Structure 1
């Protein structure tokens, strides 16, 4: 490489770096942006603690039923507990007398048992709850069976254990699939929502910045010292740094408090790997969409016309977002999902969700990365050509075909 080539290359990098630093200061270090970022951080952190609070309350719920038992039916206690457990119901059993039970039935006592354990009386305030009645009936029947086993010389404990485990074992013919709306769904939706928010915000900043410079004629001054490609590259780099920083900050604001509170305890999901994937796919997604936002924004000359450029590109992001939210979570291994997740505009949203649901092979992830990376030079050429022709165009909106022909 000649000295002239090295000098030109260094000058290009210097110009790109200068524009990038300008964008970082203009977009990130502004008072409005810092305030909005701080508000979002507070909302996210508070949301995590609120979610943990309600999750804790849900786990600390009291018993489903409170049952009082007289001394005469104390032998029913083990069977009552076993019957409640078999039906997935929690019982609180309180020994008491009938005199104590009568006023308690008007408050928090659901039933009171007294009399012969084989035919007990079940006192309730008004009508008996059918689920509780089924539990008591099952407990009484188990008690009678245990008495019969004793009379026959058997072991009632062993008999009850065998009886409790008896029943059909339900196996899904579709295999061991993750619950569509389980923890995986929560993690996946949070991840791609953060991705969508960041990409739309970054793309809008680029489009607005391009049109602002074009409207104010600042771009004409800038292009007198640097080339259009350097200006576009610096703008994309600077806003990319700002957006990536926001992704990392907001992601950490959600994951760190969640880890501290133990909200994700028991999750079979590698949250660290998921966040890394979100960052990697943000970088590729940002390259893909920012080039389109920056290039196509140069076609318009007024702020009122930005929607004509940003709306189709935003729609192009919402389509894979909703496909990832509904199609991938429902069937991450379907052929259609596998094919769509290889398309560069779809990959940033669909691949992280497929990974959370365990539906992606290593070679598929590598292939999706490769296709997305191979697409970037093509988009660089298209965006650079459109930007170069459109950024100095004044008057009405320039047609895309006209910009590409130049």
Structure 2
């Protein structure tokens, strides 16, 4: 019977919060922003990959440079297309051509000191490739003239570079790589969901006190049942937001093909995000719901929600700045076991591959063990404060034994 009452209150909250016009419009806007943002990111990420090749004309007199140009362009990662010209006189005409036939530069003259003709300003990458190719050609000619082996000489020259060794492990994660982007999106979504859900609970509690609706409700149900139903209903709504928006982000990334460049398991990351949302929501919803009963007017709600917002923003910003720089530091490992820090730090550490199974299990156990204590505190404060009228009730008075 008690569970039926709680579920009845939860359904009322779901219907009230989820089916309003403002909620539907805001959710639609956020979905559009997330999907559009992913496609914009995909555009900028792949724009260079689809850039047309740079076309360079090579007159017959410098055809000996072609092989060296191809090698130099490959070393620079330059997409270079060489176009053979029958005569040096064709250079100016080829540069002024329009459309796909236009060339960015034309080489002619002596291969050891060619002339590079351009329409306006030379492209730095092309100029560098040409300079490298000319040097390679000259070296080959000189080595051959001295009776040496040009291939062996170039191999020895290529190896004559300093060998760089880093003291950091080779598999250390890139601080601002894909793992950083995925983890920051996750904890930002988590922060948004927790703030939104907690604020709705707090405003709902105070609204019912102000309108005296709570007195009618408590004539038929217990205060703990009312609080539990409210938290359950708004929690389902918050879960719906997380799954919908997180799923839209994962779907958009998969649709654009950005997952090919990611070394992060998006499915596992989303599942872990949902798990920590449930735990984080249970922790903060109890605090928001219980402490909101201490005030009787909407104007006073900030006095109880501000400290709770502080408890949300501090873990968020510490996670953002501490975990990416060193996800396995002693401080991070300790903080990630504290219930208010764990929902933010654990998903990010997992994205960076710095989370061991025993740490996840221990953090879950500590957080779950904390929830019954918070249930006791929230229920006690709510029972004492929800029927209190007048000025703000002190937390110490609400925690005292007995009922008013």
Task: Indicate yes or no: 2:42 matched with 1:48.
Answer: no
Change in CA separation of 1:333 and 1:106 when aligned onto 2, cut-off 3 Å = farther
Tell me the equivalent position of 1:38.
Answer: 28
TM-score (norm 1): 0.90
Deviation at 1:366, TM superposition (A): 1.1
Task: Indicate yes or no: 2:9 matched with 1:19.
Answer: yes
Tell me the equivalent position of 2:342.
Answer: 347
TM-score (norm 2): 0.91
Moved more, 318-327 or 284-293: 318-327
- Contact 1:206–1:290 (Cα < 8 Å) also in 2: yes
Q: Where do 1:341-380 residues align within 5 Å?
A: 341-380=336-375
Matched residue of 2:309: which SS? helix
Task: Indicate yes or no: 2:69 matched with 1:74.
Answer: no
Deviation at 1:103, TM superposition (A): 5.0
- Contact 1:86–1:164 (Cα < 8 Å) also in 2: no
CA offsets, 1:302-359, max 9 Å, x none?
1111111222211211111111112111111211111111111011011111111111
CA offsets, 1:134-179, max 9 Å, x none?
4323212211222344456665456545544553343321112222
Rounded to whole Å, the distance in 2 between the matches of 1:347 and 1:212 is 31
Task: Indicate yes or no: 2:98 matched with 1:95.
Answer: no
Rounded to whole Å, the distance in 1 between the matches of 2:163 and 2:257 is 33
Q: Where do 1:328-343 residues align within 5 Å?
A: 328-343=323-338
Task: Indicate yes or no: 2:236 matched with 1:241.
Answer: yes
Rounded to whole Å, the distance in 1 between the matches of 2:50 and 2:156 is 31
Q: Which residue of 12, 16, 29 corresponds with 2:19?
A: 29
Task: Indicate yes or no: 2:136 matched with 1:139.
Answer: no
- Contact 1:344–1:372 (Cα < 8 Å) also in 2: yes
Change in CA separation of 1:333 and 1:56 when aligned onto 2, cut-off 3 Å = same
Change in CA separation of 1:14 and 1:126 when aligned onto 2, cut-off 3 Å = closer
Deviation at 1:273, TM superposition (A): 0.6
Tell me the equivalent position of 1:232.
Answer: 227
Matched residue of 1:329: which SS? coil
Q: Unpaired segments of 5 or more residues in structure 1?
A: 1-10
- Contact 2:323–2:332 (Cα < 8 Å) also in 1: yes
Deviation at 1:105, TM superposition (A): 4.9
Q: Which residue of 268, 281, 294 corresponds with 1:273?
A: 268
Rounded to whole Å, the distance in 1 between the matches of 2:66 and 2:321 is 47
Deviation at 1:396, TM superposition (A): 0.6
Deviation at 1:59, TM superposition (A): 1.7
Deviation at 1:51, TM superposition (A): 2.4
Q: Unpaired segments of 5 or more residues in structure 2?
A: none
Rounded to whole Å, the distance in 2 between the matches of 1:261 and 1:133 is 35
Tell me the equivalent position of 2:113.
Answer: 119
Q: Which residue of 299, 303, 309 corresponds with 2:304?
A: 309
Deviation at 1:299, TM superposition (A): 0.5
Q: How large is the Cα RMSD of the aligned pairs?
A: 2.2
Tell me the equivalent position of 1:189.
Answer: 184
Rounded to whole Å, the distance in 2 between the matches of 1:131 and 1:364 is 50
Tell me the equivalent position of 2:246.
Answer: 251
Tell me the equivalent position of 1:60.
Answer: 50
Q: Which residue of 142, 147, 167 corresponds with 1:173?
A: 167
- Counting matched residue pairs gives 395
Matched residue of 1:101: which SS? helix
Rounded to whole Å, the distance in 2 between the matches of 1:76 and 1:139 is 7
